[in-house]
Chain A
Amino acid sequence: GNSVTQMEGPVTLSEEAFLTINCTYTATGYPSLFWYVQYPGEGLQLLLKATKADDKGSNKGFEATYRKETTSFHLEKGSVQVSDSAVYFCALTANSGNTPLVFGKGTRLSVIA
C-alpha cells in the first residue's frame, strides 16, 4: 500500500539555521506529493506540492524536490524563523480515482530566537 515515512522529531533549531526534514514514500504508480503545516492550535494548511518527478514545490521560503529515483520529497528552508515553529506533515496521493491522501507521522519543529 501507499505510505510515507518522515524523520522523527522534535527538531529544535536556532533562528536563521538551515532546515531539512526528510520524507520518503512508497507508492504504486506516480503519486503527487505534498507538505502540510500545522501551526499550534490550528488546522492543516497546504505548504507546497509537486506532481511529477523532478518538480520542485516552493512556498514561504520552503522547498522540496520530487525525487523518483530515491522516492524522496525532503523539505528544506535556508533560514528558519521563530514563526516557522509548527508540525510538518509529508503526504501523498496516488492519483487514481478517489484514493485518499496519506500522511506521514509529522515532524515537530521548534525554532528558538
Chain B
Amino acid sequence: EPEVTQTPSHQVTQMGQEVILRCVPISNHLYFYWYRQILGQKVEFLVSFYNNEISEKSEIFDDQFSVERPDGSNFTLKIRSTKLEDSAMYFCASRVRGGENYGYTFGSGTRLTVV
C-alpha cells in the first residue's frame, strides 16, 4: 500500500537553529498538509499546499514557518529559528484531488525536540 514517508523520524536541535522536515507524499496525490501534535495534545493543522502554493494556513504558521515542494517529489517544512515551544510531533499528509471523502494519508511523523 502506498505510504507517505517522513524523514527524519526524530530530530534534536538547539533553540534558534533552522530545521527542515522532509516528506515524500504519495505519488499521485495533489494536496499536501502539515500538522503538528504537541506531546499529549490535539493534532493541529499548520498548512495546506496545492498547485505549488499555500492554499490555507493556521495562525500557528507564522513567518518562522515555510513550505516548499522543490522537486515534484519532496514536500518540506522549514522552521527558520526554532523555539522551545516548537517541540512537537510533525505529521505530513496527502490526498488525491477530490479525495476529501476518503481521508488523508499520514506519514509516521517527525519528532522535533528543541533544546
Seen from chain A, the residues whose Cβ lies within 8 Å of a Cβ on chain B are 32, 34, 36, 42-46, 49, 51, 89, 93-95, 97-106
Closest to A89 in B: B43
A43 to B106, alpha carbons, bound, how many Å? 7
**Contact of A32 with B101 in the complex, beta carbons under 8 Å:** yes
**Contact of B50 with A98 in the complex, beta carbons under 8 Å:** yes
Interface mask (B40-81 → A, CB under 8 Å = 1, otherwise 0): 011111001010000110000000000000000000000000
**Contact of A49 with B55 in the complex, beta carbons under 8 Å:** no
Apart from A46-B105, A101-B45, A106-B42, what are 17 other A-B pairs with CB-CB below 8 Å? A34-B103, A36-B103, A42-B108, A43-B106, A43-B108, A44-B43, A44-B106, A46-B104, A49-B102, A51-B101, A95-B100, A97-B55, A99-B100, A101-B33, A102-B45, A103-B42, A106-B43
Seen from chain B, the residues whose Cβ lies within 8 Å of a Cβ on chain A are 31, 33, 35, 41-45, 48, 50, 55-56, 91, 93, 100-109
A94: chain B residues at CB < 8 Å are: 100
**Contact of A95 with B106 in the complex, beta carbons under 8 Å:** no
A75 to B108, alpha carbons, bound, how many Å? 23
Closest to A51 in B: B101
Q: Is the interface of A mostly helix, strand, loop or mixed?
A: loop
**Contact of B56 with A49 in the complex, beta carbons under 8 Å:** no
**Contact of A95 with B101 in the complex, beta carbons under 8 Å:** yes
Known: A32-B100, A89-B43, A105-B42. A98 touches B48 (CB 8 A): yes
- Which of B93, B100, B108 gathers most chain A CB within 10 Å? B100
Q: Taking the nearest CB of chain B, how far is it from the CB of A43, in angstroms?
A: 4
**Contact of A104 with B42 in the complex, beta carbons under 8 Å:** yes
Q: Taking the nearest CB of chain B, how far is it from the CB of A60, in angstroms?
A: 15
